[in-house]
A and B are shown apart, each in its own frame.
Chain A
Amino acid sequence: MKNAGLIFLSAFLVNNIVLMRFLGLCPFFGVSTAVETATGMGMAVIFVMTLASWITWAVYHFVLSPFSLVFLRTAIFILTIASLVQLVEMFLKRYYRALYSAMGIYLPLITTNCAILGITFLNIDNDFNFLNGTVFAIGTGLGFALIIITFAAIRERLDQAPINPSFQGYPISFIAASLMALAFLGFSGLFGLT
């Protein structure tokens, strides 16, 4: 996978982060109750995911790798991401009030989101260079936003539907997600991507 376009498509559709890789399920089920909140969450994830992939790429290649500290990557990455999110939150609050009111409340929720940390690990495991890592992070973030917004729309309809009491809430959401995942399986093989 050298081509940046293919990496983007793979991250966005074929290996969709939520439905195929199963990362970031907590916000996927927790925040997808209305289209509006899902949009804010999706934006925040795209933003933080890109920043996190940049900063962890730099930390890994300029600090951990040269000093043979790779075994510390789990601890260092999570602390880096946690402090990054704090900084971004303060920065947005001070200088970009509009952006902050759109996605500020979602930023703390993202800190311990396995999607963000997972992407930084996958970046390293796949040996992506800086450009490919960025494309991968943006594609993944967009894939997350696409899924969470579509799913929020589906759940708004599910709230109106007459559902068996045992299936109300989580079970029917899981089954809706299962059908979405089945639909997304149709993308596998697109441009030879698996």
Chain B
Amino acid sequence: MSKWQIFTRGLVRENAVLVLMIGLCPALAVSGTVRDGFGMGIAATFVLLCSNIIISLFRRNIPNEVRIPIFILVISTFVTMIDYMMQAFQPDLYRALGVFVPLIVVNCMILGRAEAFASKNSIIMSALDGLGVGLGFTLTLTIMGAIREMLGNGTFLGMVVFGEGFKKAPVIFMIMSPGAFLVIGVLKALINKYVKKETP
């Protein structure tokens, strides 16, 4: 596979949330607004990119028997870094994401890429793979955040989109928990209808 294919595979064709259905918890929990979804996506992308690079760098030195604990330690190091960086530089975003920032460590998407890809491939390839999967995750969360924020609050990144009348009486349940399940259910159904047939 070419480098471009490695990169776009995680972005679209094997999109973690909408195609493989992994990493659902953060995708549903913090996609209430565009800002939250995008912030969460970038945080996960950072962890994924760094952990993929480090694991790929040490792939010949990590003993096979204890590889999973080592992967988890590497991932949790980067999660702790992003946790404290976000607390320092983006305190509002950190409060909105809450417990889901430290919980990036148990996102099966990240451990899955470490196990399935980074432990077997070169650094460049692993970095591209991590970047692709991470940006695919970011894209999904941003789209979900956009749909939920526009319908549930009448805004996009704080800007009013459908006029003041809608802003006063929006579909409020879209930004609450039922809206998250509904949006991902409908998105998945659309993917089943239009996308799945093209993929082998």
Residues in A lying within 8 Å of B, measured CB to CB: 19-26, 29, 71-75, 78-79, 82, 112-114, 117-118, 121-122, 125, 164-175, 177-179, 181-182, 184-185
Q: Is the Cβ of A20 less than 8 Å from the Cβ of B189? A: no
Instruction: Check if A24 sits within 8 Å of B178, measured CB to CB.
Output: no
Q: Enumerate 19 A-B pairs (CB-CB under 8 Å) in ascending A order.
A: A19-B177, A22-B26, A22-B28, A23-B29, A25-B25, A26-B24, A26-B108, A78-B76, A114-B106, A118-B99, A121-B99, A168-B192, A170-B185, A171-B186, A171-B192, A175-B181, A178-B182, A181-B177, A181-B181
Contact B189 A125 (CB under 8 A): no
Q: Which residues of A contact B103 (CB under 8 A)?
A: 23, 114, 117-118, 121
Interface segment, one of B5-13, B50-58, B79-87, B147-155: B79-87
B21 beta carbon closer than 8 Å to chain A: yes
Docked complex Cα distance between A118 and B193 (Å)? 35
Count, chain B residues at interface, CB 8 A: 41
- The verdict on B122 contacting chain A, using a C-beta distance below 8 Å, is no
- A178 CB contacts on chain B under 8 angstroms: 178-182, 185
A125 touches B80 (CB 8 A): no
- Contact at A74–B25, with CB atoms within 8 Å? no
* Docked CA distance A135–B190 (Å): 42
Q: Contacts of B170 on A, CB cut-off 8 Å?
A: none
Using a CB–CB cutoff of 8 Å, the interface residues on chain B facing chain A are 21-22, 24-26, 28-29, 69, 72-73, 76-77, 79-80, 83-84, 98-99, 102-103, 105-108, 111, 173, 176-182, 184-186, 188-190, 192-193
Q: A117-B103, A125-B99 are in contact. Are A26 and B22 (CB under 8 A)?
A: yes
A114 vs chain B, min Cβ distance (A): 5
In-complex Cβ contact of B25 among A26, A71, A121 (8 A)? A26
Cβ-defined contact, A71 with B80, below 8 A: yes
Q: B15 to chain A: closest CB distance in Å?
A: 13
From A20, A78, A122, contact of B99 by CB (8 A) = A122
Chain B, Cβ-Cβ closest to A182: B178
Q: In whole Å, how far is B181's beta carbon from the nearest beta carbon of chain A? A: 3
A29 CB to nearest chain B CB (Å)? 7
Cβ of B79: which chain A residues have Cβ within 8 Å of it? 74
Q: Specify which of B26, B79, B181, B188 lies most central, judged by the most chain A CB atoms within 10 Å of its CB.
A: B181
Contact A166 B21 (CB under 8 A): no
Count chain B CB atoms within 10 A of each CB in A19, A25, A112, A114 and give the residue with the most. Answer: A114
Closest 9 CB pairs of A and B: A174-B185, A178-B181, A22-B29, A171-B189, A75-B76, A166-B193, A181-B178, A182-B178, A178-B182
